[in-house]
Amino acid sequence: MSDEEKRRWKGPTGDKGSSGRQMNERKIRAHHAKSDSSKQWLERQMADPYVRKAKLEGFRARAAYKLLEIDEKVGLLKRGQRVVDLGCAPGGWLQVAVAKGAKEVVGIDLLPVEPVVGAHIIMGDVNEPADVARMMKGLTGKPDLVLSDMAANTTGHKQTDHLRTVSLVEMAVAFAVEHLAPGGAFCSKVFQGGATKDVLEMLKANFDSVKHIKPPASRAGSPEIFVIAKGFKG
């Protein structure tokens, strides 16, 4: 092999050195992509007026303003209410309910939630009767309002994510129908065009009015909207 050929020769296909370099390059690209994604998220958070407002006004999450805007539009929150918050982490909706003068506020989440003054919080599962019973001990009567901002962890697979979300909404509706006081109300996050036909039928059968709302605090690019049902028939 001439000197020129030696300079041109790159080694056999599958050469370990070359493969190792390619693997490292892929790892570096993946790391940069992850870093870029985190950077974009941080930049969006810093530029978000609701995030800044939440920090100034002492709310734990920008989601608090979604509930405040829904309430402004349909009048969900009233003084003296008993309120249940399903999937209450990090506690922003609990804070809103307390601030609006609810008599008793309880919440449950699979994740730990820092205490909120005026709220009874349980770390547990809505599907577990024992956990629900512990939460309901914080109320002296049936709730007047059931809230749910529950969202499933996304997988990236649209159909799977949709089914998980529908399951959570159905769970919240079933809870509301079982526990609400007559005349009570229900508010839940839904996705992709609103509540499913089965959920809507169940709500319409048990409540006087049902509507969908997308509050301004819900990001324009987000598929989330909220279903509001009022006038529980008991």
Active site residue 189: yes
83 close to 106: Cβ distance less than 8 angstroms: yes
Catalytic site residue from 39, 66, 78, 189: 189
Cα separation, 65 vs 137, in Å, equals 28
Helices (H) and strands (E) in the chain, counts: 8, 7
**Can you read off the two tokens belonging to residue 47?**
């530029």
Cα separation, 2 vs 4, in Å, equals 5
Report DSSP state, residue 62: T
Complete DSSP assignment for 117-135:
TTEEEEES-TT-HHHHHHH
Instruction: Enumerate the β-bridge partners of residue 107.
Output: 85, 121
In order of 62, 75, 191, the CA distances from 72 in angstroms are 16, 6, 22
The length of the chain in residues reads 234
Instruction: Enumerate the β-bridge partners of residue 207.
Output: 232
Cα separation, 179 vs 168, in Å, equals 17
Coil vs helix vs strand at 84: strand
Q: Residues with catalytic annotation? A: 189
